[in-house]
Homo-oligomer: A and B are copies of this chain.
Amino acid sequence: MSPEDAVRAVAARAREASHELATATRATKDAALHAMADALLAAGPDVLAANAEDVARAEADGTPANIVDRLRLDDARLAAMAQGLRDVAGLPDPVGEVVRGSTLAKGLELRQVRVPFGVVAMIYEARPNVTADAAGICLKAGNAVLLRGSSSARSSNAALVAAMRGALAATGLPEDVVQLVPGETRESVTALMRARGLVDVLIPRGGAGLIASVVEGSTVPVIETGVGNCHVYVDASADLDQALAIVLNAKTQRTSVCNAAESLLVHRDVAREFVPRVVTALQDAGVLVHGDEEFASRDGVVPATDEDHAAEFLALEISAAVVDDVEAAIAHVRRFSSGHTEAIVARDQATIRRFVAAVDAAAVVVNASTRFTDGGEFGFGAEIGISTQKLHARGPMGLPEMTSTKYVVVGDGHVR
């Protein structure tokens, strides 16, 4: 069987299994989630042994230590994965929710009801916890899931999926609602991108290159996630102590995440006071500043190129520029934003209203860190990624975002 046929066969089994899952009750799905959590813990030794193989292979290949760390599982991380599944069981079932309803002019009853997509495919890198998270969220939303992890996590993912499938069989749901995609190759990604009609939605999570290639090439509808060139704009009306704390938190609290700040804009009227303070504070925190001429006059600041202003560093680096006013800040954001999260620090109400209205992004944050754009912080209980596209879902995606809707129209012999 060709790699493409192998992927299509798995997708066809997912489609078949999705029919039964789509009409399963919440009680059945929650029982399955708890059984999957139990199974992960019971399979702990097998999973950790498989993970040790992946870690050893990564280390032998000279993989950077921070990537190896993301790959590594231990008892605590396994327990967190199991708890994540139990947390999803505790969330309301999105399926069946009546989004709107009315009685139409001729007496027909109309309801718009949440329904599962059907089959969701996830393409992701390194971290094995995504395997359990995605399986749990998709299952609760009534979707069969196809998991295409990275080759570096092959053994870990196989062990995790085997444990979860065993639990499904025992609870009466079809095992094939959770499946690994065969082959962690480029071909398996291409096959998923071509599986229109078998796969309803494709969600790439990972580096910008992976996401761009899926978005450009897929015939299956895609939800684009996670590239964040997030800006913090410090207005002339800002409380500068607050601004300093927000910039530092947004840049340094965690650097490898899509909601970290990558670009700093400072209003010209406060540049003389604020630029030296923020440069010193950032440098003290180990941050390399790529600045425009106003910033680059400071020791240790390197000149910023357009590439720097557009960059998602995911590291202790930031681009920085002085702007004449809020309109110039908005224009800079429009030019370089990836549409993830854009923040303003300001006290002037009119300036805040203008920035919030004019900036087009998944999240616009006022007087707070960009790091708050997160399903957990938003209280969603579970997050499958952060959408940076405008269609269907934008921002952190929880259970409702993993559903579609259908209209149910009930009459009594009505004709037009």
List the interface of chain A (C-beta within 8 A of B): 19, 22-23, 102, 104-105, 108, 110, 112, 115, 117-118, 196, 200-201, 215-216, 219, 221-223, 239, 242, 245-246, 248-250, 253, 334, 356-358, 360-369, 371-373, 377-379, 389-392, 394-395, 404-416
Residues from chain B with Cβ under 8 Å of A357 in the complex: 22-23
Contact present for A366 and B408 (CB under 8 Å): yes
A204 to B196, CA, bound (A): 18
Contact present for B390 and A242 (CB under 8 Å): no
A118 to B104, CA, bound (A): 32
Contact present for B367 and A410 (CB under 8 Å): yes
Contact present for A414 and B368 (CB under 8 Å): yes
Contact present for B249 and A368 (CB under 8 Å): no
Residues from chain B with Cβ under 8 Å of A364 in the complex: 406-409
Contact present for A377 and B118 (CB under 8 Å): no
Residues from chain B with Cβ under 8 Å of A367 in the complex: 410-414
Report 28 cross-chain contacts, Cβ distance below 8 Å, ordered by A residue.
A19-B358, A102-B379, A104-B378, A108-B368, A112-B395, A115-B360, A117-B390, A117-B391, A196-B215, A196-B216, A200-B390, A215-B219, A221-B222, A221-B389, A246-B415, A360-B406, A363-B406, A364-B409, A365-B411, A366-B411, A367-B413, A367-B414, A368-B413, A368-B414, A390-B404, A391-B392, A394-B404, A395-B405
Residues from chain B with Cβ under 8 Å of A115 in the complex: 360
Contact present for A245 and B415 (CB under 8 Å): yes
Contact present for B372 and A108 (CB under 8 Å): yes
The distance from the CB of A409 to the nearest CB of chain B, in whole angstroms, is 5
Residues from chain B with Cβ under 8 Å of A118 in the complex: 360, 390
Residues from chain B with Cβ under 8 Å of A413 in the complex: 239, 242, 245-246, 367-368
- Knowing that A366-B409, A391-B404 touch, tell me 13 more A-B residue pairs with CB under 8 angstroms: A22-B360, A23-B358, A110-B378, A215-B219, A221-B389, A245-B415, A250-B415, A362-B406, A363-B406, A367-B414, A368-B409, A378-B407, A394-B404
Write the chain B residue with the least CB distance to A411: B368
